[in-house]
Amino acid sequence: MRLVNIRPTRRTTALLGAAPLILLVLAYLVASASRHAFNPADKILPTPGAMIAAMRALVIEPDVMTGERLFWSDTFASLERLGLGLAISTLWALIAGLILGLIPLMRATFGALVTTVAVIPPIALLPILFIVFGLGESAKVALIVIGILPLMIRDIAAYVESLPPEQMIKAQTLGASSWQLALRVALPQVMPRLIHAVRLSLGPAWVFLISAEAIASDVGLGYRIFLVRRYLSMEIILPYVAWIALLAIAMDWVLRQISQRGFAWAHGAR
Amino acid sequence: MTAMISLRNIWVEYGDKIVLERVNLDIAERSFVSIVGPSGAGKSTLLRLLLGQEAPSRGQILLDGVPLKPECGPDRGVVFQRYSVFPHLDARHNVLFGLECAAAPLTGRLFGAARRAALEEADAMLAAVGLGDNGHVFPAQMSGGMQQRLAIAQALVKRPRILLLDEPFGALDPGIRGDMHRLITRLWREQALTIAMVTHDIEEAFALATRVLTLDKRRHDPHAPHRFGATAVYDLVLDRRVKAEIEAIRSITIDENDNN
């Protein structure tokens, strides 16, 4: 049988998928143990015990200065920024995408502008954002929005444009106005695509969040990582990175569930 | 019968390419016109003109004596070869769509008693095209024939003055195509429709229509083939006797009673 025709079963898929992750963890444990055997004070590859001890201080015990449990206040601060940035971007991507995709006049007027903004590296705008919005929360949220919104608008607009023209003509012969075309034909069909666009934007959104937090912040997952870097505290950085990965996976999974449950017609339901 | 749609000296030009030239045509109410012709002879262009999707470069199109706006409207229904139904709505709501658009300009949705009445109308139309039991099925779960039935129901629920069909059965299996021929013939009779159908299939054109229109170029310039457009070169009106003979040749009987 040809290699391309061998399809794993569900069980095999799960096992195969877990194998590299398990190997990675094992490799880390072996490397960590061997480094500590050579130098018990090693900071580069901390042992799981050291990680748990360091994280216990952040997760369970309140901070001496603020009285807060730092891990949780970091998490909530970051999720709030990320959630705000994603929510604002999603809403505007939907509105602007529909308008640009449906109305040729609007596309002619604003299409070039969106394309221009989309090619500017958002991090290059970060100083401007700090100058305009100050060092508070708005600058960080604004960076996420500027970072992901133009691409989301372009994706949604392109998708609306690519809806079959036959469908638009048909809707018009059924008496639909421009407004009804947007509301009843384009909007419902664009929703699964919008969720897809959000899922794809999650990665860049995290990048911009961590960047903004690293540069100017006093709380947040990115802030903490960059703060403890000064002390080579890998026992905090590694669990934080794993936690960020876990949060990102959970968000992606939730979005996929929403799309599959809410828009079964778009997932080839049979 | 009086002409419902009149085309007066229609020309369609794209740049210096002439697609249609000097098309004069009257379509009578309750007629079934098939439009045939070689590829590139402007069949679909003619249908787009009737639909209002495009305006002629020269000439005038009158619907019931009034010049046609170059925009699609609910007085002309259409069924394309593909993509004429909304994938995000089930069969019932696909048909309901047209009723809701007219009745609810702002929300595009009906509620309460008005919705129940409209749903009844939609269900009746679905039953008329043989989809009575498939109200809750989404287009992605339907066969090509079912999707075309749905597209027809969707168009007819608006009671259009003319139904335009752009190769509606071209993508279907031969067996299904026969079913669809019986369906459209029955609907045409029962609902007193006026139909214009573009098709590649000459047999289909003769079997269904009361009039077959052939578009082709009358003149041909080998050095500049694009400078002459197509026009109606044959315009055959089929009476009952001719149709019966064609039927005899095809030796396929249309079953009037058991036509799903």
pLDDT of residue B196: 92
> Could you say which of A169, A185, A266 has the minimum Cβ distance to residue B78?
A169
Cα A123 to Cα A145, A199, A208: the distances in Å are 12, 21, 8
The token pair at A154 is 């372009």
> Strand, coil or helix: what is B81?
coil
What mean pLDDT is predicted for residues B130-135? 88
Secondary structure of residue B179 in the 3-state scheme: helix
Determine which of B101, B138, B166 to mutate to test the interface with A (most A C-beta atoms within 10 Å).
Answer: B101
A57, A48 contact by CB (below 8 A): no
Q: Environment class of residue B259 by beta-carbon count within 10 Å: exposed (0-12), middle (13-18) or buried (19+)?
A: middle
> What's the Cα-to-Cα distance from A182 to each of A95, A168, A173, B18, rounded to whole Å?
10, 10, 15, 35
**Residue among A30, A79, A90, A104 nearest A219 (CA):** A79
Distance, in angstroms, between A104 CA and closest chain B CA?
15
Q: Find the CB nearest B87 among A176, A183, A265.
A: A265
Task: Inspect the interface and report whether the beta carbons of A170 and B102 lie closer than 8 Å.
Answer: no
- What residue type is assigned to position B11 of the chain? W
Say if the Cβ atoms of B72 and A173 lie within 8 Å: yes
Q: Who has greater pLDDT, B171 or B139?
A: B139
pLDDT at B250 over 80: no
Say yes or no to pLDDT of A100 above 80.
yes
Q: Which domains does chain A have, with CATH numbers?
A: 3-45 (no CATH), 58-267 (1.10.3720.10)
E-assigned strands of chain A? none
**Residues A103, A105, B51, B198, Cα dihedral to 10°:** -80
Looking at residue A220, its pLDDT comes to 93
For residues B7 and B24, is the Cβ–Cβ distance under 8 A? yes
A176 and B89 in contact (C-beta within 8 Å)?
A: no
CB contact under 8 A, B101 and A180: yes
DSSP state of B69: P
Residue of A170, A189, A267 to mutate for B, most B C-beta atoms under 10 A: A170
Cβ B105–A177 below 8 Å, yes or no?
yes
Facing residue for B51 by CB, picked from A169, A177, A265: A169
Nearest to B83 among A164, A172, A176 (CB): A164
Q: What is the pLDDT of residues B200-225, one digit of tens each?
A: 888 888 888 889 988 888 888 888 88
- Per-residue confidence at B33, pLDDT binned at 50, 70, 90? very high
pLDDT classification of A156: cutoffs 50, 70, 90: very high
Residues of chain B contacting residue A185, judged by C-beta atoms under 8 Å apart: 86
DSSP string of B30-54?
A: T-EEEEE-STTSSHHHHHHHHHTSS
Phi, psi of B214 (to 5 degrees): -110, 125
3-state secondary structure A33-86: HHHHHHCCCCCCCCCHHHHHHHHHHHHCCCCCCCCCCHHHHHHHHHHHHHHHHH
- Facing A174 at nearest CB: one of B82, B98, B107: B98
Count chain A–chain B contacts defined by CB atoms under 8 A.
89
Percent of chain A whose pLDDT exceeds 90: 79
Which residues on chain B place their C-beta less than 8 Å from a C-beta of chain A?
A: 51, 53, 71-74, 76-78, 80, 82-89, 97-98, 100-102, 105-109, 138, 140-141, 151, 154-155, 158, 160
**In this model, does residue B258 exceed pLDDT 80?**
no
Tell which wins on pLDDT, A23 or B201: A23
Ranges A51-55, A197-201, A205-209, B175-179: which has the least confidence? B175-179
- Chain centroid to Cα A54, Å, comes to 27
Q: Write out the two tokens for A222.
A: 């990115």
pLDDT value of residue B204: 87
Domain with CATH 3.40.50.300 in chain B: 1-75+161-260
Identity at B44, one-letter amino acid code:
S
Asked whether the beta carbons of residue B98 and residue A184 sit closer than 8 angstroms, the reply is: no
Q: Is A138 on the interface with B (CB under 8 A)?
A: no
Confidence of residue A270 (pLDDT cuts 50, 70, 90): very low
Per-residue pLDDT at A219 exceeds 70:
yes
A174/B106 CB distance under 8 A: no
What's the whole-number mean pLDDT along residues A163-181? 92
Going by pLDDT thresholds of 50, 70 and 90, the confidence category of residue A78 is: very high
Q: Is the CB of residue A40 less than 8 Å away from at least one CB of chain B? A: no
Determine whether the interchain pair A170/B158 forms a contact, defined as Cβ–Cβ distance below 8 Å.
Answer: no
Mean pLDDT of chain A: 92
Place of tokens 């009746």: B124
- Exposure string (b/e) for A245-256, b if CB count within 10 Å is 16 or more? eebeeebeeebe
Could you tell me how many helices (H) and strands (E) chain B has, helices first? Answer: 7, 10
* A67 lies within 8 A of chain B by CB: no
Name the closest residue on chain B to residue A169, using Cα atoms: B72
User: How far apart are alpha carbons A58 and A77 in whole angstroms?
Assistant: 15
Q: Which of A164, A175, A189 lies at the smallest CB-CB distance from B101?
A: A175
Instruction: Identify the residue with better confidence: B153 or B40.
Output: B153
Contact B82 A164 (CB under 8 A): yes
User: Is residue A89 a contact partner of residue A82, using CB atoms and an 8 Å limit?
Assistant: no
Q: What is the pLDDT of residue B260?
A: 46
- Nearest-Cα distance to chain B for A123, in Å, is 39
Residues B167-193 pLDDT 10s: 888 888 888 888 889 889 988 988 888
Residue B152 predicted with pLDDT over 80: yes
Contacts of B82 in chain A (CB under 8 A): 164, 166
Name the pLDDT band for A103 (thresholds 50, 70, 90). Answer: very high
Domain B1-75+161-260, what fold?
A: Rossmann fold (3.40.50)
From chain A, pick out residues whose CB is under 8 angstroms from the CB of B78: 169-170, 173
Answer yes or no: is pLDDT of B82 > 80.
yes
Candidate from B71, B88, B154 with C-beta closest to A189:
B88
> What is the DSSP code (8-state) at residue A184?
I
Six-digit token pair at A206? Answer: 């995290």
Counting residues of chain B whose pLDDT is more than 90, the rounded percentage is 22
Residue B4 has pLDDT above 70, yes or no: yes
CA distance B233 to chain A (A): 29
- Of residues A166, A174, A269, nearest to B82 (C-beta): A166
